[in-house]
Amino acid sequence: MDDILIIYDSSCTNPDFIAQYSIHRNLQLNQTVEANDRVNFLDLSIIRKASQLEIDIFRKPTTTDTTINYLSNHPGEHQLATYRYYSERMFNLHLSNDRLYNEWQTILHIAKNNKFPTTLLHKLKHQIQHTMHATPSQTLKITQSGQPSPLPPHTYAKSPTCLNTLTSKSPSDARTP
């Protein structure tokens, strides 16, 4: 078990008492207490304000900005996976405008160090924003007959000279021998 967040009323208890509490004989609680009205938990910084809690994205000091390089021979979906995650997290956390701007600059910096064109990231950011604000009927394309449109091909390999794809087949395409 790892990473348990405990919020408590300091007028009723204290960190030393909580550290002594034993859930199980094989579990030991190691505390990380709030410093400068902030505590880091997983990949978030939780910031205590007078009347509310705010969040920011936390990266450990040892975190590197290495991702799959754009010039590598990995599939495009794999190359973009980290940036898709970072961008979706950035929008889903409801960060303040300053924190949102800082996170976007960090994402662009990481991408630059991994040879990603910024135009590709701006396009990805726009797609994510559009999807987040789209209605359910906009996210699933519906044909004139009222049926969902066929699934697009799924990329599974990429080389400098060709792009191999798998296509999704419907049960009607299956043939019996």
Query: pLDDT digit string (tens) for 23-73?
Result: 677 777 777 778 899 999 889 999 988 888 899 999 999 999 999 999 999
> What value does the CA radius of gyration of the chain take, rounded to a whole number of Å?
23
Range of the domain at 4: 1-60
Whether residue 117 is contained in a domain is answered as yes
Judge whether 163 lies within some domain. Answer: no
169 has a pLDDT exceeding 60: no
Asked if 47 contacts 53 with a C-beta cutoff of 8 angstroms, the reply is yes
Q: Is residue 80 part of a domain?
A: yes
Nearest-angstrom CA–CA distance, 158 and 111: 20
Asked if the structure places residue 28 within a domain, the reply is yes
Res 29: pLDDT: 72
Q: For residue 147, is it within any domain?
A: no
DSSP of 14-42, one letter per residue? -HHHHHH--SSTT--------BTTEEEET
pLDDT band at 20 (very low <50, low <70, confident <90, very high): confident
Q: Does residue 121 sit within a domain?
A: yes
Our count of domains for the chain comes to 2
Q: Would residue 22 count as lying in a domain?
A: yes
